[in-house]
Amino acid sequence: MLMAADGEYLAHVYYGKKIPDEALVGIMRFDESPFTPATNNRDRASYLDTLPLEYPCFGIGDYREPVLRIHAADGTSTCDLRYKGYKITEGKPALEGMPATFATEKSPCNTLEVILEDKPAGLEVSLFYTAFEQLDVITRSAVIRNVGEKDVFLTRALSACVEFDTHELDMITLNGSWARERAVERCRLHHAKQLVDSCKGESSHQNNPFVALCEHKADEDSGEVFGFNFVYSGNFMAQAEVTQHKKTRFVMGINSIDFSWKLGRGEHFTAPEVVMVHSDAGLGKMSRTFHDLYRSNLIRGEYKDKRRPILINNWEATYFNFNTEKLIDIAREASKLGIEMLVMDDGWFGHRDSDNSSLGDWFVYEKKLEGGLKHLVDEVNKLGMKFGIWFEPEMVSPDSELYKAHPDWAIRIKGRELTMSREQYVLDYSRKDVRDYVYSMMKKILDSANIEYIKWDMNRQHTEVGSSALPADRQKELWHRYVLGVYDLMERLTTDYPHILLENCSGGGARFDPGMLYYSPQIWCSDDTDAIERLKIQHGTSMCYPCSAMGAHVSDCPNHTVGRNTPFATRGDVALVGTFGYELDVTRIPQQDRDAIPGQIEKFKKFNPLVRTGDHYRIGNMFEDNTWDAWMFVAKDKSEALFEFVQVLGRPNERSRNIKLKGLDPDAYYYEESKPEEKLSGAALMYAGVNVAKMWNVDGLYGDFVSKTLHFVKA
């Protein structure tokens, strides 16, 4: 709920559980010192430093974190936005050149546009709020226009600010690093500022653009939670600030480090979208709301509501050491087992036999792929399998024809040594000529053979950020222009090839964000494919991203990242949560594991509709107890449920576990599929629980890393 305080200052009144449309001006404390400027103009600065402003600016007496800061033509930074008007429209406008949620017939919405102005600065700002009628979701974005006569530079342009009338909140973030992405971290807010951000040019392995603020007592199933997710794939910041009066200001948007945007006369800047979710029933309900929104109102394309092909990727099977014959051998054996697609990973182009050359040379390495790409694809298709291919379109190797011809196409600062990472540089995607050239090469490959899947990778972050094509006063725009360039190329790709399944990847999970989900219905969750490590990674990812979007594979053992050995069945059960596939050499694994693949595939096909469309419930939590994990998927009509359990570590001299299920109809009766004669009420299963050992017809669980799935059906 918003209001124009004194008819001028847009203030935040209330955000939380739905209440009747009532006048809540009383909670604003206008009858307390320092009073409003209309009453006490001598203390306007104190007033603005306490008012819960909806889009706070720098330089007017509000010393809390600003959302908007400028560099005006006279060299000053002050901005003072005043309320001008509003309008309400049905539906939801698109964001220019950027991903955003959208309305559907099944999920209608309405949009409020609030217009603010700063006449001396010549600025007008439109704040957009879209409320989805069937979900506790509000999305926010902003458009900033120069309506004056002189140039204005934006030095900060965040997307959202929310004021909370309390400091008694916990902050939950998803942090980590390569191979251990999106670990859940929870801490209490304290006076001053707590921030997560990225200045790497991507949303990053280290901090995901997600934050939840919640009551101290909130858990999976109870308590008030406010979730925030930034629909953007570049630098971001999300910050909670506990103020001197024990209130909390939360802001989210593009990171202002090294950011500037020149607004000439008549020009505008669009700030990306923030998705806000409210839950009055804990973290679980927040997550399920995010999942429902993204599955129906963010993910697009042919695979939006379809099961994804079961693929086998050759990366961990061969790395760079493969040829046509080897790939066909893998495909031949995989096709016999029911695998539906072969994906050829890194190493098929230029003269690439290791990761030190050829990025940017997107033509076939004929020495490795004898007979050419079409021959390989045709042979794979003859086996009844689809074919997919790996690209890293944003990068260039120093040892490449592209870089030798166009060294200025790399992001760099003239006169400075360019830092290499993974022996590669980043292409300047702010330049249309660069994007056009790369896309033309990709298009030649895609048009040359029946390619039905692309894995789009991005394996390094930005350094020495500069562009040979931008003037000096626009150099700091490169960070954002780069992201817009990536979006532009992905939009072209998905428009020209709507039947191709696009999976995003960035050294694993460094760009697992809603911006990427807009273009690809799945994202490689992590380069760490170990089943036990994935329990944490997939748990954290599910805080706001649907499980159907998690790229998850069964890989070889000992695992290539951590060296752990886990049962083949457990690897399959953990990958069942995501898109499911294989990351191994199927011609070399033990016969026992090979024989298990058809059963795993049948199981995935059976339960994937429930995983893709059902409600996800987290039961275990490896961040709190690393000896076991469990989760459920429950049909929307509560007619069936899939329960999965993993015993991570065996326990000496311990009683068996009773685990309480979630999400069932308490008044209905259910049976486990293998025991139709034994019926229990949903209430009993949820409130008393099930004994996981007894459900397996064993006296107890023995050993480490063992798993089991149970399918409950309404009687």
Edge-to-edge strands of the sheet including 109-118? Answer: 82-90, 109-118, 123-132, 137-146, 268-279, 225-231, 207-214, 170-175, 183-188
Q: Say what the pLDDT of residue 426 is.
A: 98
C-alpha closest to that of 468 among 495, 419, 505, 433 = 433
pLDDT tens column, 669-706: 999 999 999 999 999 999 999 988 766 555 456 789 99
Residues 6+ apart with CB under 8 A from 561: 179, 527, 528, 529, 530, 533
Q: Say what the pLDDT of residue 208 is.
A: 98
Strand residues in 56-136 grouped as ranges (E): 68-71, 82-90, 109-118, 123-132
Domains 311-613 and 628-714 agree in fold: no
Find the angle CA(440)-CA(444)-CA(450) to the nearest 5 degrees: 140
Catalytic residue among 80, 346, 361, 457: 457
C-alpha closest to that of 158 among 239, 81, 98 = 239
Fold of 311-613: TIM Barrel (3.20.20)
244: burial class by Cβ within 10 Å (0-12, 13-18, 19+)? Answer: exposed
Residue 123 three-state SS: strand
388 - beta bridge partners?
A: 343, 453
C-alpha closest to that of 426 among 445, 398, 404, 405 = 398
pLDDT tens column, 598-626: 999 999 999 999 999 999 999 999 999 99
Dist CA 307 CA 579 (whole Å): 8
84 within 8 A of 124, measured Cβ to Cβ: yes
Catalytic (active site) residue 457: yes
Catalytic (active site) residue 615: no
Could you tell me which CATH number the domain at 2-290 has? 2.70.98.60
Asked if the model's pLDDT at residue 40 lies above 90, the reply is no
Q: Quick one: what percent of the chain has pLDDT higher than 70? A: 99
> What's the predicted TM-score (pTM) here?
0.97
The 3-state secondary structure of 174-201 reads EECCCCCCCEEEEEECCEEEEEEEECCC
Q: State the amino acid at position 199 in one-letter form.
A: C
Q: Quick one: what percent of the chain has pLDDT higher than 90? A: 92
Question: Sign of dihedral through CA atoms 405, 410, 415, 417?
Answer: negative
Asked if the model's pLDDT at residue 420 lies above 90, the reply is yes
pLDDT tens column, 273-296: 999 999 999 999 999 999 999 999
Q: Say what the pLDDT of residue 26 is.
A: 81
Task: Please state which architecture CATH assigns to domain 628-714.
Answer: Sandwich (2.60)
For 94-109, what is the mean pLDDT? 94
Alpha carbon separation from 7 to 37, 127, 139, 176, 668 (Å, rounded):
11, 17, 25, 45, 55
- The H or E element spanning position 601 is helix 591-613
Backbone torsions φ then ψ of 332, nearest 5 degrees: -60, -45
112 - beta bridge partners?
A: 88, 129
Please report how many Cα atoms fall inside a 13 Å half-sphere around the Cα of residue 391, on the Cβ side.
25
Catalytic residue among 399, 527, 593, 629: 527
Asked if the model's pLDDT at residue 224 lies above 90, the reply is yes
Strand residues in 234-304 grouped as ranges (E): 236-242, 248-254, 261-263, 268-279
| Cα of 407 vs its chain's centroid, Å | 32
Asked if the model's pLDDT at residue 374 lies above 70, the reply is yes
Domain-wise residue ranges, the chain: 2-290, 311-613, 628-714
